[in-house]
Structure 1
Amino acid sequence: MKKKYEKIYGVKKTPKETLEQWYYLMQLGRIIDEKAPNYLKQAIGWSYHAPYAGHDGIQLAIGQVFDKETDHLFPYYRDMLTAISAGQTAEETILNGISKADDPASGGRHMSNHFAKPEWNMHNVSSCTGNHTLHAVGVARAMKKYDHKGVAISSQGDSSVSEGYVYEAFNGASREKLPVVFVIQDNGYGISVPKEVQTANRKVADNFAGMKNLRVIHCNGKDVFDSMNAMTEAKKHALEHSEPVILQANCVRIGSHSNSDRHDLYRDEGELTYVKAYDPLSKFRRMLMRYERFTEEELDAIEERAIEEVKKAHKKAIVAKDPDPESIHDFVIGEAYVSEKYPEGLPNGDEGETMKLIGALNSTLKAEFRHNPDTYLWGQDVSNKDKGGIFNVTKGMEDEFGSERIFNAPIAEDFIMGTANGMSRFDQKIRVVVEGAEFADYFWPAMEQFVDTSHDYWRSNGAFSPNITVRLASGGYIGGGLYHSQNIEATLTTFPGCRVVYPSYADDAAGLLRTCMRSKGLNVFMEPKALYNAPIAEAAVPEDFEVPFGKCRVRREGTDMTIITYGNTTHMCVSVAEEVAKEEGKEIEVIDLRSLLPLDKEGILKSVKKTNKVLVVHEDKVFSGFGAEVASMIASEAFEHLDAPVERVGSTFTPVGFNRILEKAILPNEEKIKEAATKLLKF
């Protein structure tokens, strides 16, 4: 038997001043909701508008129950009344709609109808439907760890529940017993796709009724009082039991999905008449008069006050300044940590303990966890007794720092990445390190969350920086085959809101990891797993060594040609250069990029101008590999200094095979690099 919720609110129970405020907010929202399409018709803006009419009861309730001092709210694109009920003004709502510079959500950077007010913990969310459920779970995890008395509220449509990451959010929240309220506003459609195509259950929340530690509440989202009672109970339960709640609100969608949709093409006249008859605002007005809480004249006066408020808001918003085109480069990525002692990322003659690459990573992680007690790490297999990940990079960390800071995650890469985004929202002092996948090739399920996270700082106009380091064991030469040997850095470097580093030696691994963990923003730390225990990657690591982003390192001086490389192939290139010097007397300079994004253009061009010949070598495929960007940059910015075409060596344009014979045929090696270098030297 389903647990009932106490009915605190009712037309007779609720104080008149509260009813007046609710009616005013509902009128205010509806006036703007109906006015929004006119801005588009007049070419003023609001090019995307998803009308909320028919969701009035539940949206009013979400905003009223939300406490900006303690809670975190993640509204979706149809949540206009939710935002207004939570305190967003009419002016702020219109500024968002017509994408003005003073739009509190994004300063005109994000789509209209994506409402937010970061200083109130009302978060700017993506257009990817329902993906913010994972962010709500992440921030709720932080609430629980910091003993913060509040709830995370995630609001979304019923069709978003078909997304895999929404299931991951529900599953993770129930497993960790987190104070999250997932509000599902069920209007029966996903654009034009009816509910029966989404799920076999008539009510999608019932798909999750069997989950432990998860309460499901149903309410009439068209009814103000039922919605208020249900929402109040949902928050109360989440707080008192530290458990997630799914609140499914039955609504109707009176209008089209958005201003780019024509619902008359898939809804018949009978249905359109039906949904208008169930208009929550009209019902609320009739109820207030039927129970003699207000006269018709009193309600008309409230409506007039709302109309005047919207007129004033329009006049202010319409003349507000537009975004400055010069600002597009602001807030692309959070502030990087700057090293004072090691500005070039070189040891400066410092001595340190000689370590293997894996030891350098492990010791640096531990040192940084001691340095910042608000640092957390999770992923798959990272905290199982004496095992620290499948490569033991995090070995011993749970013993020292405890399971509150080092813990395992479900085998759900999107969940790992999405909750990292959410947890970092709770406080900017928090630093999150995630083992994004056990192998870099398995990171693809997390890409939706990664992409969303990469533009969070820009999209929020600098209000939120996701301070996350994603560790990925990358590359081949281990006989791993598909999903254990591929390189993905060329894809990751196409996103402007992240940094990507790829060390080749233990000292650089330590220095780059420390810089990632101390910086703001999203950082990807690629680990060449074939070098974890390789003697050739050993180096003396100075204590607290730091390597800045965007600084390459000359691994071998030379005058006759430059080889630009990184990761596993760095050692091959150094070996080839030494061999060529002995055999032919030619001196090849080897540049270890270390940092791919940002890229050290100055360091690269300095070497090119000195040697006049360039070979770019990396483990990834030649076609569309990261080297293509390096070669293009050199051709564009140093063409007059070249005595030969820029050549490249990398993998064949195939997947990496499992059989060692196939792997050797596919991946670059010293023989292939030497052949290309010798040919280029003779050009």
Structure 2
Amino acid sequence: MTDKDIPKIYSIKKTPKETLEKWFRLLSVGRAIDDKAPNYLKQAIGWSYHAPYAGHDGIQLAVGQVFEKNKDHLFLYYREMLTALSAGMTAEEIILNGISKATDPSSGGRHMSNHLAKPEWNIHSVSSSTGNHTLHAVGTARAIKYYGEKAVSISGQGESSVSEGYVYEAINGADKEELPVIFVIQDNGYGISVPKKDQTAQRKVANNFKGFKNLRIIHCNGKDVFDSMNAMEEAKKYAIEESKPVIVQANCVRMHSHSNSDDHLLYRSQSERNYVEEYDPLAKFKRLLIRYKRFTEEEIQTLEEDTKKTIKAAHKAAMSAPDPAPESVLDFVVPEPYVSQKYPDGLHNAEGEKKKMITALNETLKAEFRENPDTFIWGQDMANKDKGGIFNVSKGMQQEFGAERVFNAPIAEDFIVGTANGMSRYNEKIRVVVEGAEFADYFWPAMEQYVDTSHDYWRSNGKFSPNVTIRLASGGYIGGGMYHSQNLEGSLAAIPGVRIVYPSFADDAAGLLRTSIRSKGMTMFMEPKALYQAPQAATIVPDDFEVPFGKARIRKEGADISIITYGNTTHLSLQAAEKLQEEGLSVEVLDLRSLVPMDEEAIIKTVKKTNKVLIVHEDKVHGGFGGEVASFIMENAFEYLDAPVRRVGSTFTPVGFNRILEKAILPNTEKIYNAVKELVKY
């Protein structure tokens, strides 16, 4: 089917007058706000970021009109003010967002102005990173298809956003999975000041995707209300009936500068500016209404007077709304976690046979999938015959739970994490577990999605929590070298909004995984892969074991000095402690288990007890998480110290491949032993 074959449901002659009136009111109110927004900044009231939509009127009206709230899912980009208005948001709500009031339904003033959302209607909160929400739209469409709903997920974006790699990954994933998602590309020819010719060789950027098997591409005039409405109606019909993705490329113009911090006079000629003014979609629509005698000039004037009254009332209401309270900044950083009733301290006295860490993780995943049928897992190498993940942690899961809940993802880490974010938006019962990368070192391409997901809960003012557990096989001691033996937790811990856990033993791995999956919010679950099959990490594991976040565990009682550690180095520390015990030195070993949040009480308690502290971790000393622990001790327990806090970790180098180099770089029992011996002499 070509664009010419699209049924012409709407036209200036066929469309009912009441519908035309509704559209004209929306177009007029939207343009009035669009024109008024810069004045708020000039008066120092707010709206310090405004991206005018004038020239996109037809397509934005159409997207909002086909969107069905609480059924479809809508992901707006920063230029889609009219889409939000057309989808049902009020003029007052849009101005509240613009001037960042506490009652702004999009974020309560937490997010940039012009980033509109209403999560309770499925108008989702998105970040400022251009096009990244395409992955979220795909994840949501995956849920729509899985749960059998006749609905669509709609992603709005500019043509320049498709230069981003994750946009290609989103469209590729939607095509592969045959998902009901509509990518609306509003092409105004510019990415800020960069013309389209500097983005792509194609005159129409959607044509870059012509070779995709299941994808349909529809072109329309985004300046024309009727052409846009017909295109969007057809796109939605096709996406639902065929369960396949659609790109709607809408040809638009940008009548003004990119934003109020841009000046298009610096890069657009007078003739070009005159051209885009001539193609003003609102002016064209108004002329059509009068030319075809659908409305008289007097009727239009009455509607325009109503617009002025609407804007005046909305402005007055918004100006009287409260500002955000300074003390509210700590609200909605991380959701309240699942709380264990049976194991409040994450300890047990179970009896039975020991299990290796890999077995404990595998059995816990299966148990949680049985417990909650709305749990899903995907990643690379996740489900191919008898294989389950690169280390077989998820072995047997697809056989038991099916390919719709356990499946392979493309080799695209940001796709893995971004669609996890999106799928979790569909229903708060959903829990997603992903292998963020085959090895932790390969996770970096997903960092944009990780950062975005980390502040979703805060950014939405508590309206949306991405309930995602990211598993990463971490650390060295396997002779893996670069991209197979690095540690990330020191870097990740600087990003608020995510819990980070790092178990050392099988029971803690099981208990922390269970708590992570059951909790709302995002958890980074670091798995020391060198311990998967290690006998020293094997323990008795109760079937229902749960470990709370922020609860450390004493691995060995001592009186002379404390080692604070986690992950692989817990076992190295215990070996050093046993050797020192034989020499008459009593060493206490505290296994943090949870880094964010950290068990501050346990740390202070062990400092008070021994008065000397050695922090040991596998990551580099420089910039490693041990610096955070040391700083906490210095600020909160300095008076109990009889010596400086010392750290043992890796050298400030990558981890080498040759075993000789690896040994020289990573901490080991001897290095820990020597550090303790030196510290006790202080």
Separation in 2, partners of 1:400, 1:635: 51
Structure 1 position 351, deviation (Å): 2.0
Residue equivalent to 2:381: 381
Aligned 1:27-426 pairs, distance under 5 A: 27-347=28-348, 349-426=349-426
Residue equivalent to 2:635: 636
One-letter code aligned to 1:78:
R
Q: Deviations over 1:23-58 (max 9, x none)?
A: 110000000000000000001000100000000000
Structure 1 position 350, deviation (Å): 2.1
**TM-score, normalised on structure 2?**
0.99
Q: Deviations over 1:499-527 (max 9, x none)?
A: 00000000100000000011000001100
Separation in 2, partners of 1:353, 1:145: 39
Separation in 1, partners of 2:367, 2:99: 48
SS of the aligned residue for 2:436 comes to strand
Q: Deviations over 1:339-368 (max 9, x none)?
A: 111110001x22244100000000100111
1:678 correspondence with 2:677:
yes
1:614 correspondence with 2:647:
no
Separation in 1, partners of 2:415, 2:15: 41
**Conserved? CA contact 1:550–1:596, under 8 Å:** yes
1:571 correspondence with 2:535:
no
One-letter code aligned to 1:23:
F
Q: Deviations over 1:222-280 (max 9, x none)?
A: 00000000011010110110000000000000000000000000001111111101100
One-letter code aligned to 2:480:
G
SS of the aligned residue for 2:155 comes to strand
SS of the aligned residue for 2:336 comes to coil
One-letter code aligned to 1:323:
P
**Conserved? CA contact 2:215–2:246, under 8 Å:** yes
**Conserved? CA contact 2:70–2:120, under 8 Å:** no
Separation in 2, partners of 1:624, 1:219: 52
Residue equivalent to 2:545: 545
Separation in 2, partners of 1:633, 1:156: 44
Structure 1 position 677, deviation (Å): 0.7
Separation in 2, partners of 1:398, 1:273: 60
Residue equivalent to 2:665: 666
Residue equivalent to 1:441: 441
Separation in 1, partners of 2:142, 2:514: 25
One-letter code aligned to 2:418:
G
Separation in 2, partners of 1:117, 1:542: 43
Aligned 1:594-613 pairs, distance under 5 A: 594-613=593-612
One-letter code aligned to 1:188:
G
One-letter code aligned to 2:574:
V
Aligned 1:6-45 pairs, distance under 5 A: 6-45=7-46
SS of the aligned residue for 1:664 comes to helix
Separation in 1, partners of 2:74, 2:399: 35
Separation in 1, partners of 2:121, 2:532: 45
**Conserved? CA contact 1:617–1:650, under 8 Å:** yes
**Conserved? CA contact 1:440–1:484, under 8 Å:** yes
Separation in 1, partners of 2:40, 2:80: 19
Separation in 2, partners of 1:402, 1:254: 51
1:560 correspondence with 2:560:
yes
**Conserved? CA contact 2:202–2:208, under 8 Å:** yes
**Conserved? CA contact 2:592–2:599, under 8 Å:** yes
Separation in 2, partners of 1:628, 1:196: 48
Q: Deviations over 1:619-653 (max 9, x none)?
A: 00000000000001101111111100000000000
Separation in 1, partners of 2:642, 2:295: 87
Separation in 2, partners of 1:24, 1:84: 10
Q: Deviations over 1:388-422 (max 9, x none)?
A: 11101000111111111100000000000000000
Aligned 1:472-487 pairs, distance under 5 A: 472-487=472-487
Q: Deviations over 1:166-219 (max 9, x none)?
A: 000000000000000000000000000000000000010000011010000000
SS of the aligned residue for 1:426 comes to coil
One-letter code aligned to 1:617:
V
Residue equivalent to 1:465: 465
**Conserved? CA contact 1:414–1:448, under 8 Å:** yes
SS of the aligned residue for 2:499 comes to strand
Residue equivalent to 2:493: 493
Structure 1 position 70, deviation (Å): 1.5
Separation in 2, partners of 1:335, 1:230: 44
Residue equivalent to 2:647: 648
SS of the aligned residue for 1:12 comes to coil
SS of the aligned residue for 2:123 comes to coil
**Conserved? CA contact 2:377–2:406, under 8 Å:** yes
One-letter code aligned to 1:582:
E
**Conserved? CA contact 2:46–2:98, under 8 Å:** yes
Residue equivalent to 2:587: 588
Structure 1 position 6, deviation (Å): 1.1
SS of the aligned residue for 1:155 comes to strand
Separation in 1, partners of 2:351, 2:304: 75
SS of the aligned residue for 2:417 comes to helix
Structure 1 position 2, deviation (Å): 3.2
Separation in 2, partners of 1:64, 1:542: 54
One-letter code aligned to 1:626:
F
Alignment: residue pair count: 681
One-letter code aligned to 1:570:
T
SS of the aligned residue for 1:219 comes to strand
SS of the aligned residue for 1:452 comes to helix
Q: Deviations over 1:137-170 (max 9, x none)?
A: 0000000000011000000000000000000000
**TM-score, normalised on structure 1?**
0.99
* Superposition CA RMSD, Å: 0.7
Residue equivalent to 1:532: 532
Separation in 2, partners of 1:267, 1:351: 76
Give ranges in structure 2 of 5+ residues lacking alignment: none
SS of the aligned residue for 1:437 comes to coil
**Conserved? CA contact 1:352–1:543, under 8 Å:** no
**Conserved? CA contact 1:188–1:252, under 8 Å:** yes
Separation in 1, partners of 2:2, 2:206: 13
Give ranges in structure 1 of 5+ residues lacking alignment: none
Change in 2 beyond 3 A, CA 1:94/1:674: same
Separation in 2, partners of 1:497, 1:404: 29
**Conserved? CA contact 1:479–1:663, under 8 Å:** yes
Structure 1 position 69, deviation (Å): 3.1
One-letter code aligned to 1:409:
A
Separation in 2, partners of 1:388, 1:210: 31
Aligned structure 1 segments of 4 or more residues deviating by more than 4 angstroms: none
Separation in 2, partners of 1:49, 1:353: 63
SS of the aligned residue for 2:590 comes to strand
One-letter code aligned to 2:198:
V
SS of the aligned residue for 2:102 comes to coil
Separation in 1, partners of 2:95, 2:370: 47
**Conserved? CA contact 1:155–1:184, under 8 Å:** yes
**Conserved? CA contact 1:77–1:114, under 8 Å:** yes
**Conserved? CA contact 2:501–2:594, under 8 Å:** yes
Separation in 1, partners of 2:112, 2:493: 24
**Conserved? CA contact 1:353–1:542, under 8 Å:** no
Change in 2 beyond 3 A, CA 1:352/1:204: farther
